[in-house]
Amino acid sequence: MAGHFDSRYTRSTVRLLREAWGAYLALLKVMVPALVTVKALEMLGMTEWLGAWLSPLMSPLGLPEPLSMVWAATLLTNIYTGLVIFFEITRDTPLTVAQVTVLGALMAVGHSLPVEGAVARKAGVPWWLTLLLRVGGAWVLGWVLHISHTLGDWLQHANHVVWAPSPRDATLVAWLQDQAMTLAMIFVVILVLMALLNLLRWLGIERLVHRLLYPLLRLLGIGPAAANITVIGMTLGLSFGAGLLLREAHSGRLAPRDIVLTLCFLGLCHSLIEDTLLIMLMGADLSGLLWARLGFALLVIALLARLPWLKRAPLPAWVFVERSLPEAASRPRRG
């Protein structure tokens, strides 16, 4: 009896490691080229060029044009880099909490596009849709917040930063070390998350999560099978959610339409804990970073799910840039 249990436990562990490694390799194939490309573009001055292109978009949001450099760095690299540039630019520039909240909303929705966009593309979301949702959506959310703050005379007091990060070592060796540590941690997180998902499924808690999230997912047009991935992506981040999404997709448990809608939702609203806390260090208000972003994402995806081109099943073949699910894309959906 004990030997049978040990054998089954060993097989389950090996299968878990194999699945986690497969999902990790799928992410590495996308993330490593994207990270190298971003670093090369950054060294060639892409951040300055992008900042100049974005500067005319700042005035309608009530922001000084130099802050376009903050969003440009965030779009191209990550939120941490944007924070460093923010503290450098605003050292002698007084801002209101409303202005910092608007900028924070831009950063929360639109960041790390080369890497996260490549991951989303691997799972089936085309680049044009990622750019439209995360750059266009970020700007629209920022504009709505700016108008709301102005009309309601909210958050107009002077901003005070909570904490400023120390500058990072800018050498190429330091960058390589940072990326190696990050990529190694991604495998650990994916392995733990997959083990947790298997445990929840075995305990029957997964079904409870599906029932609790069913009304929300139904509003978004997403099937209940994507509930776990949605929660993980919202709390931990798009890359982790997409990695698990690829694994679930290959298993046949997710329909192509659910994959696209889930990733679109996570593009607007992911990593609600870490990113929100990080941006609040700038002095941004929680209302814009969390509640407004969540409400905006729910509204946009609920509307997107009801568009004729996405509502029809099966999905048009051009949606799947990377044919991760060729057999699922051609299989008609029930219901």
pLDDT digits (tens, 9 = 90+) for 206-242: 777 777 777 888 888 888 878 878 888 887 777 776 6
Lowest mean pLDDT among 53-62, 145-154, 228-237: 228-237
24-57 burial: b if 16+ Cβ within 10 Å, else e: bebbeebbeebbeebbebbeeebbeebbeebbeb
Tokens of 294: 């969540």
Residue 101 scores a pLDDT above 50: yes
The whole-number average pLDDT for the span 270-285 is 90
Residue scoring higher pLDDT (211 or 141): 141
Q: What percent of the chain has pLDDT over 70?
A: 83
At 43 the pLDDT is 85
pLDDT digits (tens, 9 = 90+) for 301-310: 999 888 876 6
At 55 the pLDDT is 96
For 117, other C-beta atoms within 10 Å of its C-beta total: 21
Closest alpha carbon to 270 in 300, 298, 231: 231
Residue scoring higher pLDDT (25 or 145): 145
At 59 the pLDDT is 96
Q: How does DSSP classify residue 314?
A: S
The whole-number average pLDDT for the span 105-109 is 97
The answer, as to whether pTM is greater than 0.85, is no
Closest alpha carbon to 74 in 127, 30, 110: 110
Amino acid at 323: R
Nearest-angstrom CA–CA distance, 228 and 208? 11
Amino acid at 5: F
Q: What percent of the chain has pLDDT over 90?
A: 34
Residue scoring higher pLDDT (99 or 223): 99
Q: How many CA atoms lie within 13 A of 319 on its CB side?
A: 23
Residue 94 scores a pLDDT above 60: yes
Q: What DSSP letter does each residue of 53-107 carry, written as one string?
A: HHGGGTGGGT--GGGHHHHHHHHHS-HHHHHHHHHHHGGG---BHHHHHHHHHHH
User: What are the residue ranges spanned by the domains of the chain?
Assistant: 12-328
- Cα–Cα separations (whole angstroms), residue 165 to 53, 192, 244: 27, 29, 31
Determine the length of the chain.
335
